[in-house]
Structure 1
């Protein structure tokens, strides 16, 4: 049976990183620590930390991780990530790559092909070959002038960033709810396993008690049988003694009665002979 401590790990213990993940987290955090101004590497590192939830061993949310470890809010982290994603689109073309996050900030939230087109135009119009963030913003505003409701592409980009942030927050809430559900399910499973274990123990105890009772009952039965056998043996001995005594009495009585009868007959015959002799003597005396 699994131990109780194994199934009732804390939330952080359940979300522990393996060796490869922990090593990768250290590499990514080293990139972030070496300079937040290197927005591309930082954005890629933060994106990987967020997507793979490498923060889960110490923090429940990506937002809390960024604030505690790097002192930046969720929106700032999202801007770094969005800027890095724009660079990923521009890099394969072989163009000059933006060196500052504010240079690509106006491009975030736009379709990839439009990001590429506007950046190429900004490079062509830049006197020194590297446009500023304001120059890129002007090109975006030119493509998407403010409409009747006063909303600009930047407003749309901000809304996209907000929606992305909200969606990410909702996804993390769902993950948190799933972890809570899994934790509760693990607790229920543990309690169920404990009840099953107790049930097996009780059944085994009842079975053992039944066996012990059968053994004790057999012992008592044998004991009573032996006691009754001893009593019956004594009763039989007594009955046999009485029967033998009665038989011997009858035999002796018959034997003595025969002897008495024989002696009585002998006595009667002797008496008869005596009387005959006496009568003869009397007759002889009378003859004299």
Structure 2
């Protein structure tokens, strides 16, 4: 009994954590209604607001709002939406939903449909096939073909009494089954956590590898840039040296030519002077 109690405590704690997690996810994952959904919500709400439509149409409208979560922009839950938008308590709203589902199951009856929600309230707890069977019997038993809620309720009770009831399990057997169910649930949750942990680990390793590759690529780009910069510097140096060499070569050539010209003139002057001296001696 103590182990069963511990399992139950663990289950309750886990559900509380799940509920808290779901509430946090709601604020993070809420998706706004698109234009089509907004238009459809207005159409559906018009059906509920008019109050002149049948309970079936109202129930069908509420089913669509619930199943498509068209309430999600303004309310956290469908129940809160019904209460704040239409002043419908949770039991009242779900009675309309279940009534609409029953009407849908009675479609083979043609035009012999219930005219109020109370007529279909008793069969809601029966399987679809039995719902149709009960309504057919109720129509046959009614003088005007319109069964009252009392007739339907009586037929449902007769159906329930005629159905063999399952043997009631002892408390020990119930606890045993519940414990087995909890163990299976814990096992499933552990496997799910391991699966998620493996996915996270794989993603983490992938991110680490991607990080290493990006760093290596960045280092290689730095090296390539340094090499390219060195090549560009050498190229610029060579170009500057070539330009300077060409510039000074011209100056040197000009100076050499002038020096040669000056030397030639000086030589000619000296030679003329020597010739004059020699002529004077003679």
Normalising to structure 1: TM-score of the pair?
0.54
Which is higher, the Rg of structure 1 or of structure 2? 1
Alignment equivalent of 1:236, drawn from 244, 253, 269:
253
Cα distance per residue 1:4-63 (max 9 Å; x no partner):
xxxxxx966x532324x4333222212111228942111011122223333344335433
Secondary structure class of the residue paired with 2:274:
helix
1:113 matched to 2:129: yes
Cα distance per residue 1:238-263 (max 9 Å; x no partner):
33322222222223222322232222
Q: Distance in 1 between matches of 2:252 and 2:132?
A: 120
Q: Distance in 2 between matches of 1:217 and 1:71?
A: 84
Counterpart of 1:147 in structure 2 is 165
Secondary structure class of the residue paired with 2:106:
helix
Q: Distance in 2 between matches of 1:95 and 1:236?
A: 120
Contact 1:55/1:65 (8 A) holds in 2: yes
RMSD of Structure 2 on Structure 1 (CA): 3.8
Instruction: Provide closer, same or farther for how the CA distance between residues 246 and 90 of structure 1 changes in structure 2, counting only shifts above 3 A.
Output: same
Counterpart of 2:64 in structure 1 is 48
Where do 5+ consecutive residues of structure 1 fail to align?
A: 1-9, 151-202, 267-288
Q: Distance in 1 between matches of 2:103 and 2:261?
A: 127
Alignment equivalent of 2:274, drawn from 257, 261, 265:
257
Counterpart of 1:81 in structure 2 is 97
Alignment equivalent of 1:99, drawn from 105, 108, 115:
115
Normalising to structure 2: TM-score of the pair?
0.55
Cα distance per residue 1:73-108 (max 9 Å; x no partner):
444323212211211232442353222222212212
Instruction: Provide closer, same or farther for how the CA distance between residues 56 and 237 of structure 1 changes in structure 2, counting only shifts above 3 A.
Output: same
Deviation at 1:124, TM superposition (A): 3.2
Contact 2:47/2:53 (8 A) holds in 1: no
Counterpart of 2:193 in structure 1 is none
Where do 5+ consecutive residues of structure 2 fail to align?
A: 1-27, 169-220
Alignment equivalent of 1:23, drawn from 39, 53, 56:
39
Counterpart of 1:161 in structure 2 is none
Q: Distance in 1 between matches of 2:93 and 2:58?
A: 9
Alignment of structure 1 residues 160-199 onto 2, 5 Å? none
Counterpart of 1:163 in structure 2 is none
Secondary structure class of the residue paired with 2:121:
helix
1:33 matched to 2:33: no
Contact 1:82/1:108 (8 A) holds in 2: yes
Counterpart of 2:179 in structure 1 is none
Counterpart of 2:205 in structure 1 is none
